Amino acid sequence: MGETMTDELRVAVDRRGASGAVLYTKGYINNVGGEEIANRAYELMDDGVRTLLLNLRETKIVNSIGISILIEIIEKMIDKGGKIGFCSLTPVIHKTFQIMGLANYASIYTDEENAAKELDM
Amino acid sequence: MPHVHRFADFVHELQQLEKASLATQGPSILDAFARHTRFDSGALYLRDTRGSGLRLAAKSLTCVAPEILDPNVRAEDAVLPSPAVVVALQSHRESVGVLALSTQAIDDSMEDDVAFVRTAAAFLSTLLTNQRLMQETREGDFQLKYRLWELESLYDIGLSIASTLNVDELADEILFRMISLTNARRAALYLREDGGFKLYRSFGDVREGFLEAELTEQLIREGKPLTFDGAAACLFPSCETFVAVPIRTGNNDQVIGVLAAADRETREGGIGAFEENELRLLSLFGNQVAIALENARLHRDALEKQVMERELELAATIQRDILPKAIPQIDGVEIAALSRPARQVGGDYHAFFVREGVITALVADVAGKSMPAALLVSALHAVLQLLFAEGREIGEIATELNRHIHNWSAENKFVTMVMVSIDREHETLQYVNAGHNPAYLISGGNIDTIKSHGLPIGILSGTRYVTQTRAFPAGSAVVLYSDGITEAEDMDGNEFDNPRLEALLQQNIDCGAAVIRDQIAQAVDAFVDEAPQKDDETLVIVRRA
């Protein structure tokens, strides 16, 4: 039987104190999805967040435009003196991040618990 | 403030702008010039990174300036009020922009200010060029990494051939990677079914069902990716651009599926056509997918075969366990038996019952093969054990057995059976032959047949079987067998047949039961030669001393 998967991205935010937040994504990180993440991330940065964890547990696909937007978010956070981490990546996305250089500027963690501990959230 | 200090402050401010993106720094640059010089209005044009034209990056409120600066029109003529100074922002490589500035406070000391602006503009040109080079380097680095990632994706799909043998998991991975590789918004995987290509997995809004016959034929005929722009009636509702790639196996050049993707995203946020390099990549990807899918299919077939073989093995075990482990030892009676199951388990069965000195031997053949036949043999065995234990005579046993088998077994399931009871005291042989091959009775130097006198067991519920009786004096023998013996085939498909069996019996008419059994077995083996055994072979011989 044919099986259909959705292409929409949903984002949820969980604030962790005054300067921390976890951003949960569900769906495809493409141009539209990447912009959605960027908007939320920039709002959080403007609101004083300097440690941002992106939990990609429910994201299975990311394309090159989505990656370039994620790089912009990382650069912006570094400019502000903050840090960004990613957790719960699929093996394919993990490898993609490593090849595309995201792993050089942001930490990648196996799960949220581990990430929260390491990022002191 | 001395000029040198003014200039140092100005340069410092411009340097701070270096981190801002090209798109947002225009107003800040113009503002810096307004604050550090006497030119308080004007326009700034910067070279568009996506094209070759000069695009308006900033202008003061009082200034009128076109969005794009026509290369054939001077900035002095295009910008209003007419600027007092126009500076081309130029690096050694190319023009990076144009700065046009005006002021209402024109006096004799303007020359110094113009020189100041020109020097600052030269510095700005270097700054912008550096920024542009850095951006190009970063984009080049990104593109390089992206190509590496494409190659890695192809390589990974190759690895999946060895690791992902589940078609469902493989389908997900294929879709995800294809979408990532092409920057498509939607994608679908179609696999061959009922002569067409049916939607198997999709991402995003995709029409259910089969690919259009026309598109299918075109893909098979051309064997390469096909692209469409503005494909309103395509399988992705309301898509703007669309690509379809055949999944073609290498060994017999068969198209086993189709990969399709729609609406390729562009960096500018719109939808673009699928480009030539993406089509080449998709072709390569399609080849890898073909191997992966074929591998998964072969694995699935192997698993199914494994399950079937396990079933056969289980069926063989069931059958082996219910066949007699030993032959009854009775004074004055020699019994020999042979049971050779075929590789594909059939339904041959034989048994012995001894009641008050009367030995009963039977051979039965259940219709069908494999597990269903083995289960029916098992039921037959159980019912026979109960009926014989009740002390019934064999005609009655056959009648009762028929009723049970007819009621319990599935439609079209039946059993042929021949059953003989040898009573040494009365020197008789009683028998029931329910649709089975004729048995042979050897007595007084003659060979006679014991033919069927009733329907096979399980055909009609009300069938009654009446016990038949023959004389069975000392020295007599009875030969029961299944059709696996007489229908054993040689390499040319000829059957061993009854005349050969009868000739063998004639040659060994005075021999013991074991000798007759061995002679028949050897003759069948020699006849069959290298041909595979197609059916169970069962032989039971009972001889009175």
Q: What is the DSSP letter of B300?
A: H
Determine which of B277-281, B388-392, B396-400, B506-510 has the lowest per-residue pLDDT on average.
B277-281
Parallel, antiparallel or unpaired: strands A10-16 and A20-26? antiparallel
pLDDT at B162 over 60: no
User: Tokens 């009367």 label which residue?
Assistant: B358
Who among A4, A79, A95 is closest to B206 (CB)? A4
CB distance A65–B203 less than 8 Å? Answer: no
Quick check: B145 and A6 CB within 8 A?
no
- DSSP string computed for B22-60: HHHHHHHHHHHHHHHSS--EEEEEEE-TTSSSEEEEEE-
Beta strands in B424-467 (DSSP E): 428-434, 439-443, 446-450
DSSP state of B487: T
DSSP string of A46-82, one letter each residue: HTT--EEEEEEEE---B-HHHHHHHHHHHHHHHHTT-
pLDDT digits (tens, 9 = 90+) for B183-228: 999 999 998 888 788 899 999 888 888 888 888 888 888 878 888 7
Nearest CA in chain B to A71: B142
Q: Is residue A63 part of a domain?
A: yes
Please tell me the total count of domains within chain A. 1
Yes or no, beta carbons of A61 and B199 under 8 Å apart: no
Note which residues in 14-43 of chain B have CB less than 8 A from chain A.
19
Angle in degrees, CA B55, B58, B64, rounded to 5: 85
Q: What's the rounded Cα separation, in Å, for the pair B108 and B299? A: 90
**pLDDT, greater one: B162 or B87:** B87
Among B264, B270, B205, which Cα is nearest to B235's?
A: B205
Q: Which of A60, A71, A101 sits opposite B176 (nearest CB)?
A: A60
Q: Rounded to a whole number, what is the distance in Å from the CA of A84 to chain B's nearest CA?
A: 20
**Distance (Å, whole) CA B220 – CA B255:** 7
CATH number of B3-136: 3.30.450.40
The whole-angstrom separation of Cα A18 and Cα B38 is: 45
DSSP code, position B237: T
Q: Which residue has the higher pLDDT, B424 or A3?
A: B424
Residue type, A76: K
The whole model's pTM is what?
Answer: 0.58
Mean pLDDT, rounded, for B510-531 = 95
* CA–CA distance, B435 with A88 (Å, rounded to integer): 69
B141 touches chain A (CB under 8 A): yes
Q: What confidence tens digit (pLDDT) does each residue in B298-334 have? A: 888 888 888 888 877 777 777 778 888 889 999 999 9
Mean pLDDT of B153-174: 75
Look at the alpha carbons of B499, B501, B502, B503 in this order and tell me if their dihedral is positive or negative. positive
In a domain, A3, yes or no: no
A15 occurs within a structural domain: yes
* Tokens (6 digits) for A84: 């960004």
Write out chain A residues lying below 8 Å of B175, CB-based.
5
Q: What are the tokens at B6?
A: 């003014």
**CA–CA distance from B374 to each of B238, B246, B316, B371 (Å)?**
58, 46, 7, 5
Q: Cβ-count burial of A19 within 10 angstroms (0-12 exposed, 13-18 middle, 19+ buried)?
A: middle
Residue from B232, B175, B183, B225 nearest B207 by CA: B232
- Cα–Cα distances (Å) from B53 to B81, B100, B101, in that order, read 22, 16, 20
| Whole-number Å distance between alpha carbons of B301 and B111 | 88
Mean of the pLDDT values across residues B282-300?
A: 84
| Residue A5 in domain | no
Q: Assign B399 to helix, strand or coil.
A: helix
SS3 B341: coil
Nearest Cα to Cα of residue B360 among B396, B400, B328: B328
CATH 3.30.450.40 spans which residues of chain B? 3-136, 164-298
Other C-beta atoms closer than 10 Å to the C-beta of B403 total 18
ipTM value of the model?
0.84
Proportion of chain B above pLDDT 90, given as a percent: 36
Nearest CA in chain B to A28: B185
Q: Which amino acid is at B268?
A: E
| pLDDT value of residue B114 | 85
Task: For residue B36, name the pLDDT band (cuts at 50, 70, 90).
Answer: confident
CATH number at A49 reads 3.30.750.24
Q: What is the pLDDT of residue B93?
A: 66
- Both tokens assigned to B217: 């034929």
* Average confidence (pLDDT) over B340-356: 84
Which two structure tokens, joined as six digits, stand for B37?
Answer: 């010089």
- The pLDDT of B342-362, averaged and rounded, is 87
Q: Which domain holds residue A32?
A: 10-119
pLDDT at A2: 40
Which chain A residues touch B if contact means CB-CB below 8 Å? 2-7, 28, 30-31, 35, 60-65, 68, 71, 79, 92, 95-96, 99-101
Sign for the pseudo-dihedral over CA of B297, B300, B301, B302: positive
Mean pLDDT of chain B: 86
Q: Which residue from B530, B514, B523, B535 is spatially nearest to B496, judged by alpha carbons?
A: B523
> Quick check: B175 and A5 CB within 8 A?
yes
Q: Which residues of B touch A36 (CB under 8 A)?
A: none
| More confident call, B160 vs B354 | B354
Are A101 and B145 within 8 A, CB to CB?
yes
Model pLDDT, residue A21: 97
Burial of B134: CB neighbours in 10 Å, binned 0-12, 13-18, 19+: exposed
Spell out a b/e string for B501-536, using b for 16 or more CB atoms within 10 Å of the CB, else e: beebbeebeebebbebbbebeebbeebbeeeebebb
Q: With 90 as the cut, is the pLDDT of residue B497 above it? A: yes
Biggest CA pair distance of chain B:
153
Instruction: Look at B176 and A61 and tell me if their CB atoms are within 8 Å.
Output: yes
- Considering only B299-308, B326-335, B463-472, B530-539, which range has the smallest mean pLDDT? B299-308
Q: Chain B: nearest CA to A95, how far in angstroms? A: 9
Chain A CB contacts of B205 below 8 Å: 7
| A59: nearest CA partner in chain B | B176
Question: In which residue ranges of chain B is CATH 3.60.40.10 found?
Answer: 323-544
Judged by a CB distance cut-off of 8 A, whether residue B525 touches chain A is: no
State phi, psi for B66 to the nearest 5 degrees: -70, 155
Residue-level pLDDT at B161:
55
- According to the model, what pLDDT value does residue A106 have? 94
| Strand A20-26 to A51-58 pairing | parallel
The reported pLDDT for the residue numbered A1 is 40
pLDDT tens, residue order, chain A (121 aa): 444 455 678 999 999 999 999 999 999 999 999 999 999 999 999 999 999 999 999 999 999 899 999 999 999 999 899 999 999 999 889 989 998 888 888 999 999 999 999 999 8
Cα torsion B333, B334, B335, B336 to 10°: value is -170
pLDDT at B136 over 50: yes
Q: Which residues pair with B255 in a beta bridge?
A: B248
Q: Could you say which of B175, B176, B183 has the minimum Cβ distance to residue A65?
A: B183
DSSP-assigned states of every residue in B122-186: HHHHHHHHHHHHHHHHHHHHHHHHHHHHHHHHHHHHHHHHHH---HHHHHHHHHHHHHHHHTEEE
* CATH class of the B164-298 domain in this structure: alpha beta
Q: What is the mean pLDDT of residues B120-139?
A: 84
Q: Which of B145, B172, B175 sits opposite A100 (nearest CB)?
A: B145
> Which chain A residues are within 8 Å of B156, Cβ to Cβ?
92, 95
**More confident site: B524 or B13:** B524
Q: Which CATH code for domain B323-544?
A: 3.60.40.10
